[in-house]
Structure 1
Amino acid sequence: MFRKTKPKIEPPPTAPSVEEMFEDMKTFEINQPTNSNATDNSDLEEALLTETSENLTLATWWKVFDVYERKVERLAASEEDLEHYRIQLQECRDKLEKNANTLCEGIKKQQAMAKEALNVN
């Protein structure tokens, strides 16, 4: 009643040849992202080093303040992360010491049992 028919699917595309890949590579362009923060920071540092504090514009001072504030925020976040990791390490150390003590007690019990078994015979 019903016949199985093979699905009509197009064959997969063939892989490009090496020459075609080289041709494609010639047309490929890479646009490097510019690091605006690095240039802004270097410009600010240069402005601070070359000009006296009276000659700096208010906009430059605000930029310096913003950069400093971002650095302080990153430092505070790093300190929080370090404290969290310190607590984790302390917890792991305590757990390892507890496991080590348990193992040592088990070994001592096994040694005592072995000595007792050897002395009985």
Structure 2
Amino acid sequence: MFKKSKPKTEPPPTAPTVDEMLADMETFEVQQPPVATSTDNSDLEHELLTDPENLPLQTWWQVFDTYDQKVAKLAATVDTLESQKEQLQFCCATLEKNAQELRDGIQQQQSLIKNDVN
């Protein structure tokens, strides 16, 4: 009744093998511009803010990479400080609990002493 038709599109390509991927990785190279030292970063940032149109693209990327690294370092510092803050709050709560237990124990001992004296 119905006839099986031939596929009208080509089948998708097969996935590369591990050996093919490793061979591709050996030929893959990333050229990143060298990161400028921190001494001329302030000059570059000043130049970027004052005259960005005349700044060479490689210099612009150096400033961007430096700024990006600073932002990542700041984010890591914020995360570290948040975790330390949580640890301190936990320690404070634990100390407060222990202090209250000691106060309660002292009050019990004082009430026992008062009862024994009377």
TM bin, normalised by shorter chain, reads 0.5 to 0.7
4+ runs deviating over 4 angstroms: none
Q: How far apart in 2 are the matches of 1:64 and 1:38?
A: 10
Hey, what does 1:105 align to over in structure 2?
104
TM-score of the aligned structures, taking structure 1 as reference length: 0.63
Structure 2 unaligned runs (5+)? 1-35
What is the distance in 2 between the residues matched to 1:55 and 1:44?
Answer: 12
Q: Residue 47 of structure 2 corresponds to which residue in structure 1?
A: 47
Structure 1 runs not aligned, ≥5 long:
1-35
Q: Which has the higher contact order (CA 8 A, sep 6+)?
A: 2
Tell me if the contact between 2:44 and 2:63 (Cα under 8 Å) persists in the aligned partners. yes
Name the CA distance, whole Å, in 2 between partners of 1:104 and 1:48: 63
The TM-score, its normalising length taken from structure 2, stands at 0.64
What RMSD over aligned residues (CA atoms) do the two structures have, in Å? 1.5
Q: Which residue of 2 aligns with 1:85?
A: 84
